[in-house]
């Protein structure tokens, strides 16, 4: 089924000029980038976005990292986009990520792991709505 997922190209990747290379991996996997913008995430936006991790020991560090530089927020569309993008990103920890995945290719470590992708269709809808209005998404 054609569906949408939410993606973030994180500050470690924008800093190293990897936006184009990451987008190539995304598009080569058959996912269409139907919305995209480069933003500076505010402290409030990052805290809300990662609220589910609020009790984790790395929460403060994560919020600080996500606001440390520009990010590229995206909406990706395609067959089974949520699962497909998670496959394309690879494991959260790049040391465990499969060959050819974005995190294996580019991530620095488990925190600075270059990309985020939604983990379910429900979360994809919520995450997309946090950063995009309907008319910004052109499918």
Nearer CB in complex with ligand CMP: 29/41: 41
Nearer CB in complex with ligand CMP: 29/102: 102
| Contact between 88 and 22 (Cβ < 8 Å) | no
Nearer CB in complex with ligand CMP: 29/71: 71
User: What is the CA angle 114-99-35, rounded to 5?
Assistant: 40
Q: Is 116 designated active site?
A: yes
Of 7, 39, 41, which Cα lies nearest the Cα of 22?
7
CB of 135 to ligand CMP, least distance (A): 26
Question: Look-up: residue for tokens 């620095």?
Answer: 108
Q: Tell which one of 111, 123, 125, 137 touches ligand CMP (CB under 6 A).
A: 111
4 binds ligand CMP (CB under 6 A): no
């Amino acid at each position: 089924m054609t569906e949408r997922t939410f993606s973030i190209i994180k500050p470690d990747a924008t800093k190293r000029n990897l936006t184009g290379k990451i987008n190539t991996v995304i598009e080569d996997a058959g996912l269409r980038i139907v919305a995209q913008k480069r933003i500076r995430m505010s402290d409030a936006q990052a805290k809300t976005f990662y609220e589910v991790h609020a009790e984790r020991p790395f929460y403060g560090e994560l919020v600080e990292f996500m606001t440390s530089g520009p990010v590229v927020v995206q909406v990706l569309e395609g067959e089974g986009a949520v699962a497909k993008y998670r496959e394309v990103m690879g494991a959260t920890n790049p040391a465990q990520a499969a060959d050819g995945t974005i995190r294996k290719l580019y991530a620095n470590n488990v925190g600075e792991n270059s990309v985020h992708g939604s983990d379910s269709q429900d979360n994809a809808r919520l995450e997309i709505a946090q950063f995009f209005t309907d008319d910004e998404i052109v499918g």
